[in-house]
């Protein structure tokens, strides 16, 4: 198979433009024609003719008209926003960007845990008040960190925890596969892991199994000094139950990059807790985002040109 044209959709990801993505792709694939449309009409025309399209989302009606389309390369790890049934009905393979977020989100998790351990939020509040007052701090070493979800992101978190001398517990759909943690549990054993947890990291997709996974019962099972970090999806945590647990001091606090609802309304009670840090779903932001996405697509282009269909990160 010859050199295919890759159509880059006009959507912006994490503040990076389609042209930024095209530049990263040209660096990885200098012999491939990388086309970026600058208007909606030009984009429709490009999608209608290109064998490979990459971007965040593609309208189902456009897919129906894309007679040459063989592969849609998504630039997000999640694919729940995509019309997967339409892709499948039109025999279009779909890949995601799983693994792109690993390094940067893992750094966010480590930073959030260490900030809590060393009391940095309290230090910042005292600095703003110009108050010199000693306060107790903890050590991360010797604690137990539970990571729910052992995909690319969860595994990256576990790798970066290794130098800190912690015990790691993993929770995943298929515990029989093992994982990088010291112990691995299935979702049916979640509470066994939670009862031993000092720091709970949520790195799982939002599914029927995980929606509301961290509810009042789970929060009650966690030790009172446990700290929650959610970089998964807001819906994995029951927000009302979390607020109740924080109000009753049933957990020590939380670092939330995702919330339910999202964006979090300005009058929501979560904003008012000194023990909660909130970021606007940007743990995955990195200037190297498109560079890593381009690396995945470059590997799949090699497979495509060889007539292969076992694409890396294929979901359809």
Confidence of residue 266 (pLDDT cuts 50, 70, 90): very high
Catalytic residue among 189, 262, 291, 312: 262
Mean pLDDT for the chain overall: 95
Place of tokens 């909660």: 276
The pLDDT tens digits for 205-238 are: 899 999 999 999 999 999 999 999 999 999 999 9
Confidence of residue 80 (pLDDT cuts 50, 70, 90): confident
Which has the closest alpha carbon to 183: 230, 216, 145, 231?
A: 145
* Strand 52-55 to 71-74 pairing: parallel
Tell whether the torsion through CA atoms of 40, 43, 48 and 52 is positive or negative: negative
Q: Are 229 and 113 in contact (CB under 8 A)?
A: yes
Q: What is the predicted pLDDT for the residue at 76?
A: 87
Q: What is the Cα–Cα distance from 13 to 137, expressed in whole angstroms?
A: 38
Burial status of residue 87 (CB atoms within 10 A of its CB: 0-12, 13-18, 19 or more): buried
Known catalytic membership, residue 233: yes
The pLDDT tens digits for 40-75 are: 999 999 999 999 999 999 999 999 999 999 999 999
Domains and CATH numbers, the chain: 5-100+286-305 (3.40.50.720), 102-278 (3.40.50.720)
Q: What is the predicted pLDDT for the residue at 3?
A: 65
Q: What is the predicted pLDDT for the residue at 120?
A: 97
Catalytic residue among 116, 172, 233, 292: 233
Looking at the chain, how many residues does it have?
316
**Mean per-residue pLDDT, 79-97:** 95
Known catalytic membership, residue 31: no
Tell whether the torsion through CA atoms of 177, 181, 186 and 192 is positive or negative: positive
Q: Are 274 and 81 in contact (CB under 8 A)?
A: no
Which has the closest alpha carbon to 90: 70, 110, 119, 115?
A: 70
Torsion, Cα 109 110 116 120, to 10 degrees, reads -110
Catalytic residue among 101, 116, 281, 292: 281
Q: Is 182 helix (H, G, I), strand (E, B) or coil?
A: coil
Q: Are 264 and 89 in contact (CB under 8 A)?
A: no
The pLDDT tens digits for 125-179 are: 999 999 999 999 899 999 999 999 999 999 999 999 999 999 999 999 999 999 9
Helix (H) or strand (E) holding 243: helix 239-247
Q: Are 300 and 86 in contact (CB under 8 A)?
A: no
Q: What is the predicted pLDDT for the residue at 131?
A: 97
Is pLDDT above 60 for 1? no
Across-strand partners of 169?
146, 183
Known catalytic membership, residue 295: no
The pLDDT tens digits for 185-212 are: 999 999 999 999 999 999 998 999 999 9
CB atoms within 10 A of CB 244: 14
Q: What is the Cα–Cα distance from 285 to 271, expressed in whole angstroms?
A: 22
Q: What is the Cα–Cα distance from 55 to 62, expressed in whole angstroms?
A: 13
Q: What is the predicted pLDDT for the residue at 2?
A: 53
Q: What is the predicted pLDDT for the residue at 54?
A: 96
């Amino acid at each position: 198979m010859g050199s295919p044209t890759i159509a880059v959709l006009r959507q912006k990801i994490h503040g990076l433009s389609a042209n930024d993505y095209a530049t990263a792709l040209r660096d990885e694939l200098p012999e491939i024609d990388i086309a970026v449309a600058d208007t909606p009409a030009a984009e429709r025309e490009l999608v209608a003719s290109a064998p490979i399209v990459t971007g965040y989302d593609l309208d189902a009606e456009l897919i129906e008209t894309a007679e040459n389309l063989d592969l849609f390369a998504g630039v997000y790890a999640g694919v729940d926003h995509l019309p997967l049934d339409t892709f499948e009905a039109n025999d279009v393979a779909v890949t995601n960007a799983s693994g792109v977020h690993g390094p940067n989100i893992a750094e966010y998790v480590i930073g959030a845990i260490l900030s809590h351990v060393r009391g940095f939020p309290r230090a910042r509040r005292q600095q703003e008040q110009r108050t010199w007052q000693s306060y107790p701090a903890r050590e991360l070493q010797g604690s137990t960190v539970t990571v729910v979800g052992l995909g690319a992101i969860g595994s990256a978190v576990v790798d970066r925890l290794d130098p800190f001398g912690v015990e790691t517990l993993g929770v995943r759909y298929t515990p029989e596969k093992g994982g990088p943690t010291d112990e691995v549990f299935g979702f049916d054993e979640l509470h066994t892991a939670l009862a031993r947890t000092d720091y709970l990291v949520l790195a799982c997709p939002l599914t029927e199994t995980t929606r509301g996974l961290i509810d009042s019962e789970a929060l009650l099972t966690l030790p009172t000094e446990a700290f929650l970090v959610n970089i998964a999806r807001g819906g994995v945590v029951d927000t009302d139950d979390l607020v109740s647990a924080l109000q009753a001091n049933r957990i020590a606090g939380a670092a939330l990059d995702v919330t339910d609802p999202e964006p979090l309304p300005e009058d929501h009670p979560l904003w008012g807790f000194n023990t909660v840090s909130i970021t606007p779903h940007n743990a995955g932001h990195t200037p190297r985002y498109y560079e890593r996405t381009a690396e995945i697509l470059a590997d799949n282009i090699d497979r495509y040109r060889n007539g292969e269909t076992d694409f890396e990160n294929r979901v359809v």
